[in-house]
Amino acid sequence: MRRIQQNLRGMTWAAGVLATCVVLVMSAPRAANGQGRSAPGGKIERLNRAPVNKEVLRVQLPRPTIAKLKNGLTVILLEDHKLPTVAFTMWIRPGQLGDPDDLPGMALFTADMLREGTQKRTSAQIAEETDGLGATLNANSAFGATYTSVTASGMINDSDHILDLMSDVVLHPAFLADELAQYKQRELASLDQRLSNPGFLAQQAMRRLLYNEPPLSLTSPTKESVQKVGAEDLKKFHDQHYRSGNALLGVTGDFKADEMRALVEKYFGAWTGAAEQAAAPRAEPGAEPNAKAAHITLVDRPSSVQTYILAGNRTIRRTDPDYYAMEVMNQVIGGGPQSRLFLDLREEHSYTYGAYSRFAPEIYRGDWMASAAVRTPVTDGSMERFVYEFKQIGDAAVPESELDDARHAIIAGFALSLERPAELLNDLLQVQLLGLPADYWDKYPDHISAVSAAEVQAAAKKYVDLAHMQWVCVGDRKQIESVLAKYGTVTVIDAEGKAEP
């Protein structure tokens, strides 16, 4: 889903920042070039700020041409004549939500194997043709995502050839046994690497705590699923989910909409398959927000010189009314280098290189998480500061100047994203995926600007909830278990999630 970059608080806007849009009024974010410091009581001091234009950014995004082919494929066509290029982005539902319980990673395996050979091209031929055009062709299905993404781009004059390649890998993958064997070796090696990464270990444990059951409780394939998956499994998954009715195709570039629609129909018009009605219920496993009592899970990593601290809670769907307040609340507490967590743990106390939070709503109830990798000896102090900041944002209204900074930072990031056609296209795909109004993004800055301190505080009370906060700390058990016990009940597990005595 769309992840707005929220670390742009220190940027100023150039005059032409919205060349792709009609700009009616533009405002600038507060500059934050001075060395801010956190102060007692959670007050944030920001020095040397530039003057701020208080008016709200007004935009009208270009309206795409939207067509639905006879086979159910929805096509979003956005003309952009600045450069002689073209970019294609296809989203195919349901992504990880379609993973079988006994084969976690099937959506990822299938996407990764698309380029490894089709019925008429070998993997080497696909790579050679793509490189020969100076084009790109990629596929991915991330854990937690509700769609598989297939992207391609290149020069507009090569559109026919690029679509030929893209349609071939989407519609006719061969899932050859020798290619699959090599892929499995690479994936097993990659999994071993991930299991040595404290950030991955923390995320893996947190997803299990927050989502309770597959597929959403998982963050990667298991060794068993990698070893077990066969070509027939991939073909079955592909036949079941890679349907024209499950797909959205966005195209942006230097073309005329009617001509590009005809070209898309040439390559994807024969694709079949109605939208998958049975996939919808799988979007809400563990539908209710996290109701577990606060708890600390310690992932034992012997001899670690750092403790990776991760705190999290279930939150909301992307279309829920609390979305805008959550965006602003997240920006205030951990959205960038001028946020409270960063200023407190790094600037004030020098516990870490950085402390951040992120907010990830989805079609299902997503999550909010905050994290920092700290030196082992300062685990106690770091936990204390996390608890303090979580309590403070729920107990006290955010000062208006700090609230202004957060709102301007989000809108600045949004404005800059509109200069990148791929991000603009993703925004338009989201409108279709989520059933949002056509003018949703036109009104987005207004909604962010209207978020009040009371709404931020209410969102914090509801979702940054210490009584139900789940904590995962990855580090050396011998050094930090007794420290963590000061903050709650501790359960110790190993890197594979098995309980330690």
Task: Give the Cβ contact number of residue 230 at 10 Å.
Answer: 13
Do the domain assignments include residue 237?
A: yes
Q: What is the 3-state secondary structure (H, E, C) of 134-199?
A: CCEEEEECCCCCCCEEEEEEEEHHHHHHHHHHHHHHHHCECCCHHHHHHHHHHHHHHHHHHCCCHH
90 and 237 share one domain = yes
pLDDT at 476 (0 to 100): 98
The predicted structure's pLDDT at residue 48: 43
Domain annotation covers residue 28: no
Encode 120-130: b = buried (16+ Cβ within 10 Å), e = exposed.
ebebeebeebb
DSSP codes, 432-499: HHHT--TTHHHHHHHHHHT--HHHHHHHHHHHS-TTT-EEEEEE-HHHHHHHHGGGS-EEEE-TTSPB
Model-level pTM? 0.86
The answer on 254 and 323 residing in a single domain is: no
Q: Which of 283, 314, 334 is the last residue of a domain?
A: 283
Residue-by-residue DSSP string for 195-241: TT-HHHHHHHHHHHHHH-STTTT-SS--HHHHHH--HHHHHHHHHHH
In a domain, 42, yes or no: no
| Nearest-10 crossing angle of helices 231-241, 177-194 | 90
252 and 116, same structural domain? yes
> Sheet containing 136-140: which strands, arranged edge to edge?
65-68, 74-79, 247-253, 85-92, 148-155, 136-140
Judge whether 44 lies within some domain.
no
Q: Residue 239: what pLDDT?
A: 96
Domain closes at, from 222, 248, 283: 283
Contact 324, 447 (CB under 8 A): yes
pLDDT at 62: 85
Residues contacting residue 99 through CB under 8 Å, at least 6 positions apart: 105, 106, 107, 214, 215, 218
How far is CA 18 from each of CA 62, 75, 373, 438, rounded to the nearest angstrom? 11, 25, 37, 19
Domain end (from 263, 283, 303): 283
Residue 80's CATH number: 3.30.830.10
Is residue 367 situated within a structural domain? Answer: yes
3-state class of 24 per DSSP? strand
E-state strands within 6-109: 22-25, 37-38, 44-45, 58-60, 65-68, 74-79, 85-92
Same structural domain for residues 271 and 350?
no
Give me the domain span that covers residue 196: 65-283
Please tell me whether residues 197 and 345 are part of one structural domain: no
For 208-227, the pLDDT digits (tens) are 999 988 999 999 999 999 99
Q: Do 461 and 73 form a contact (C-beta atoms < 8 A)?
A: no
Number of domains in the chain: 2
Same structural domain, 92 and 211: yes
Separation between Cα atoms, residue 114 and residue 149, nearest integer Å = 11
Tell me, what amino acid is at 185?
Q
441 inside domain: yes
Please indicate, yes or no, whether residues 383 and 455 belong to a single structural domain of this protein: yes
> Same structural domain for residues 148 and 269?
yes
- 275 shares its domain with 299: no
d(CA 161, CA 181): 29
**Would 277 be classed as within a structural domain?**
yes
Residue-wise pLDDT tens digits, 430-466? 999 999 999 999 999 999 999 999 999 999 999 999 9
- State whether 295 and 279 are in the same domain: no
Q: Which residues of the chain have pLDDT under 70?
A: 1-56, 277-291
In a domain, 59, yes or no: no
Same domain, 463 and 359: yes
How do strand 58-60 and strand 22-25 relate by DSSP bridges? antiparallel
Nearest one of 430, 450, 419, 470 to 5, comparing CA atoms = 419
**Looking at the structure, do residues 333 and 456 belong to the same domain, yes or no?**
yes
